[in-house]
Each structure stands twice: as C-alpha cells, then as structure tokens.
Structure 1
Amino acid sequence: MATPATERPLIVWAVSDGRAGIEAQVTGLAGAVAARRKAKVVIKRVGWKGWIGRLPWWLNLLPKRFLSPESEVAPPWPDLWIAAGRATLPLSLRIKGWSGGQAYVVQVQDPRLPPSKFDLVIPPKHDRLAGDNVFPIIGSPGRVNADRLDGDLARFKDVLGPLPRPRVAVVIGGKSKAHDLSPIRAAAMAREIELPVTQESGSVMVTFTRRTPPQAQAILASRLRHLPGVIWDGTGDNPYFAYLAAADYILVTEDSTNLATDAASTGKPVFILKMDGESLKLRRFHEDLERLGAARPMGDSFHSWRYEPLAETDRAAAEVLTRYDAWKAARPAL
C-alpha cells in the first residue's frame, strides 16, 4: 500500500554493530521497505564504551549510559526500528518504552529470546523459530535487487565486459564458529575451481570477505591468478555486486547465509564450496536452496539451470509494512 503524498515519510532506523554481514541484513530490509513505502532510512551503528561491549548483552542493564557517543541512539525516535545482532538487543528491548510506544520493533535473526518481546522477529527458516509474531525467511535479508546489480555492472563494464564466458563469480568467506578455511582446504578449493573454468575456457571474478584467513586468501589468489579474470585485492570500489551481475555461474563458500542468499537472489546457478567444519543449521539452509532449485554442491563441472530468483527480502518488507499498518491502526489516536 503506497503512502499518500500528503503523509510524511516513515522514519526507519537500520541498527547494527556495523559489522558488514549484520549491517547488510538491516539495510537490505530497510531499503526494501523504502522501495514499497515513502521512507527515510537512517543507518545506526551502535557501540559500547570500554569493557561493556565484552559482557553478555543481558548484563548491560543501563544501555543508554554505556553507548559510545557516535551511536546516536536518541530522540526523535523512528517509526520502524529494524535491528540485528546481539549488540542491539539491550536497545531493541527498551526502544518501545523510550519512544513512548511509538516505535515498531523488528528484530532480524533469532534473538534467542521469547519473540513476544518484539513486535516482529524475522529469523532464517533454518533456525526453526516459530510464533505468532515470527516471520521466517529462507536465508537472510540482503541488498541484491535489479537496480543495484545493473548499476554496479555498468560501473565495472570496462573491466568485466571483455572477460570470456562463462564468467564465474567466486565469493570466499572464512572463519566462523562452525567453519574455517585451512591452507590445505584452500589449495584443494583452488583445484576445484580451476578445473571446470579451464575445461570451459571461462574466466573468474574472485572476491574475499574480511573473515577470509590471510594464508588461505594468498593461496587461492596465487593458484587462480593464471586464469583469465580478475581477483579483487580489497582496494578501490568493491566489485561484489558487479561480479554477481556479470556471472554465468556463482560459487560461494558454505559458511555464510548472506553470501548464498545474495547469490540465489540473482536467479543464476549457485554452487556451494565445501570448507573445513560443519553446521547443521547451514546444511538445512543449503537443502532449502536445493529444494528451490537455486543451489547445488560444487562438483567437477558446471551446468546451467533456471529457477525463480529468491526474493525473501521483498517478501519480508511486505510483511513488515502489513503488520506495521495493522499495529498502527489498532493504537488509540494521540
């Protein structure tokens, strides 16, 4: 439902601790809300003074006092509070009271708290969280949309346009609670990538995340450098979305929900690269993607197929606005 021209825009805060993967989820969802409703999105990166940030979040009993000055969590309060990450929980639990009940609170990911403490919780389906105010989605909210892909592809067309097809985007994650990328696994992964690219006379577009271990990154870059293509060294503009847009195939490591969700949002064949370690939750997520026809485990060759691009961020944004409108209509007039 569009906002009438006479109404002011919704004020939407996208709140995280600033880590790239977490911020991408809240800014992606907030952006999708703004695409459906006139809105002003404000990005908030919260931090904590001194040792407070090292404590379990539930021991942070006076969060206003211990916020870092640059956090800027202060009135005027937003209409929609969209937050993710453990660092935001002391604030998400209190913003309703601080705002006099004026803020609608959306928590992305599983907060590991009763969902009733928030207006709406949007967890990944593979976390298996349920409740009346829970709206599970496959993967995580993200920033992939046609406009972003087209815009970034145009910016990098001089670099990516001449690359031979098939163009293979290779997105490498790294160390997490469940996974790692050892030098031995990195070397094996390089061989897995090199073989089918060489067989098809294609090219690679390689990018790493901040979590990629330096030694693994060095091994992969060294062993893939002889192939036609580009390997982003982390300097200059980030070509990540341009790689997704230019790719015929997308390879992502198994450690990240965000990376696989972004890839599946393009409608292009996605291959999952094995890492060291194991995660039952991520295995369930990859199985969901396989059932949708979006992703398959990496093998020794490429093959094409078609599927409907994942659009969970848009679906979540529509749900947020539907529930927000119902919540606002049920509130007594001020």
Structure 2
Amino acid sequence: MPLTSSPQSPLIIWQFVDGKSGHEQQSLGLTRALACYLPVQTINIDIRQHPIGVMDLILKRLPLDYPLPQYVVGAGHRTHLALLTAKRVTKAKSIVLMKPSLPVTWFDYALIPEHDSPTPRANVLATRGVLNAIQPSTQLNAKKGVMLLGGASKRHGWDDKLLVTQMKAVLAATPEMTWQISTSRRTPEHILLEIRHIAPHAKVWSANETPQGWVAAQLQEAGQVWVTEDSISMLYEALTAGAQVGVLAVPRLQTDRITAAIDELIKQQCLTPFTQWQEQQQLAPAHHFCEADRAARWLLEQEGLWISD
C-alpha cells in the first residue's frame, strides 16, 4: 500500500555509530530502507569522537551541532546513552537495534532479533536476525556462485578436512558455474594454501585481497551462495540478496540461541545444510528475505505514514 503522505522536506535521522562495522551496517540497512519510501537525510555521529555520558543525559546536555532530527538510531550498547540523551534534548524518537542493555521501554522503538527472545510489546519488532545493508538483487546469475568462509568461534570449531571435502563436492557438482571463494579474518591462514587452486572454475581470495564492499558486490550477482555455519551474519546477508543459500558444516562446540536460529532457518527451508544438499544436490528455492525493508514499513506504519495491507 502507498504512503499516506510524503513530507516535503527530508526526515533527518541521526545515526550513532561506535566504530563497529556490523553495528553500522544494521543502522545503514534501516535508513536505506526508509529512504526507499520517503526523503531521508542521515547524519552519522561517531560516539568515539563525540562521547555522551550519564551526566549529559541527566543535565540534558548534548554537545552536538547538527540539524535537529526527527529520529535517532543506533546499534550496540555503547550507543544507548547517546540515543536517550538525544531523545531527551531534541525530542526526536529513538530507534534501538538489537536487544538493549537498558529497559526497552526507555526507547520509542526497538528492533530486536527473534533469537534474543524479545518480550512482546507494541514498540518492539522481532526481526529474523540482525538487519543488514544488503539490497535484494535484481541481477542474480544462476551461473555464478560464492563461497564465504569464516573461522573458529566460541560456538564453532574448525575442521580443515571436513570443510575442503564439502567445498570440493559442491564445485565438482557445478562445473558450469564460476565461483568466487573468500576467506575472512577468522579463517586459519593455512587453509588458503590448501584451497588456492581447489578447482579451475573457482577463484580464491584471502580476506586482505578483497576491497571494502567486495562481498556485497558479489552477493548482487551470485545465484548460489555457500557460507560456513559460524558466519551467521553472512548467511543473513546472502538470504537478503535473494540467493539460494547452502550451509557448509563446521563442528558445533555448543548449542545456543544463534545455532537455534540457524536450525530454524533450515526448518523453514530458507537454508540448505550440506548433508541435505548431498542427498539431492539441490538447494532450497530462494526466499524473499529483506528484514530492513519490513522494519522500515513497520516503523512507517507505527508513525501513521503507511497504510498496512
């Protein structure tokens, strides 16, 4: 349904960032999605350069000289005081991404991943994973594929032999495709030597060989994407782009809310684990999966700017 009205001047949004790329990508995903529906002017404010503390909140003190916002948004615990202070001083509405460490009722809106089990409230939207800035692609190519490799983490181990066996199986089954394979900063360095020439139709990149934005650009073209299970953010980004997504198994060290979220995506047939693909050599069909857009529409509806379907 259309917007109820379109403002003449852009909405001004202060986007508080804390230097963590993942947090910034969440906020960016939301502001970009809002900009698809109405004019938006986003102002990035780095709290490392403009620290805002408890006394600023208490004294209603905001040492910032920017056009007054209608909304303030931030992801990460370090942005919470900035959000609340800006809300109190400027009367802007606050939008917190991820489960806040402060009471959720202190914020106007909260966009919280389902795996964090948010308490149902009128001002809370449960999202499938964290938001991201990937745009759904209109140019996916079934002949192009991407493999994204993570590394060991607190919940996942690493098994070179297991991983390489899976990669070789997928590559052998898709000789008609061209593949781009990238490691990450967490990937053990020795694995790069083992897979550098893994297949003639695959190009392998180390994390330090790919420029900023490389993954996003690849996801705009790859019709098929495989991601190691430890890299849940990459799984969500691949789903958002619209690809068919497979999961390369790595050893699980523990089960928790994150592994449960992956299992739920598999149950919903959004993701295909390698063992299941191995049986039929077929990935589950791509799903419409754009949580930033859904969040933007929900916010506009809450604000009376969107007529719900």
Q: TM-score range by the shorter chain?
A: 0.7 to 0.9
Contact persistence 1:197–1:203 (CA under 8 A): no
1:313 counterpart SS class: helix
Assess, with a 3 A threshold, how the Cα gap between structure 1 residues 36 and 170 changes in structure 2: closer, same or farther.
same
Give, in angstroms, the shift of residue 133 of structure 1.
1.3
Alignment of 1:38-187 (within 5 A): 38-47=39-48, 60-62=53-55, 73-99=64-90, 101=91, 103-130=92-119, 131-146=121-136, 150=139, 166-179=143-156, 182=158, 185-187=159-161
Give, in angstroms, the shift of residue 48 of structure 1.
6.4
CA–CA separation in structure 2 for the residues paired with 1:278 and 1:171: 22
**Over residues 237-287 of structure 1, what are the superposed CA-to-partner deviations in whole Å (9 max), with x where a residue is unaligned?**
542123223323211122344211111123332112233433411122113
Consecutive unaligned residues of structure 2, counting only runs of 5 or more, are 58-62
Contact persistence 1:205–1:231 (CA under 8 A): yes
1:4 counterpart SS class: coil
Among candidates 184, 191, 198, match of residue 219 of structure 1 = 191
Q: 2:179 is aligned with what amino acid?
A: V
Q: Which residue of 1 aligns with 2:182?
A: 207
Matched, 1:317 2:296: yes
Q: Which residue of 2 aligns with 1:4?
A: 6
- Percent of aligned positions that are identical: 22
Matched, 1:254 2:229: yes
Across the two proteins, how many residue pairs are aligned to each other?
289
Q: TM-score normalized by structure 2?
A: 0.81
Q: Which residue of 1 aligns with 2:283?
A: 304
Give, in angstroms, the shift of residue 116 of structure 1.
0.2
Contact persistence 2:136–2:290 (CA under 8 A): no
Contact persistence 2:72–2:87 (CA under 8 A): no
Consecutive unaligned residues of structure 1, counting only runs of 5 or more, are 65-71, 154-160, 327-334
Contact persistence 2:147–2:226 (CA under 8 A): yes
CA–CA separation in structure 1 for the residues paired with 2:231 and 2:4: 34
Bigger proportion of residues as helix: 1
Q: 1:132 is aligned with what amino acid?
A: A
Q: 2:102 is aligned with what amino acid?
A: L
Q: 1:222 is aligned with what amino acid?
A: E
Give, in angstroms, the shift of residue 42 of structure 1.
2.3
Among candidates 265, 274, 278, match of residue 240 of structure 2 = 265
Give, in angstroms, the shift of residue 293 of structure 1.
2.0
Q: Which residue of 2 aligns with 1:282?
A: 258
Q: TM-score normalized by structure 1?
A: 0.76
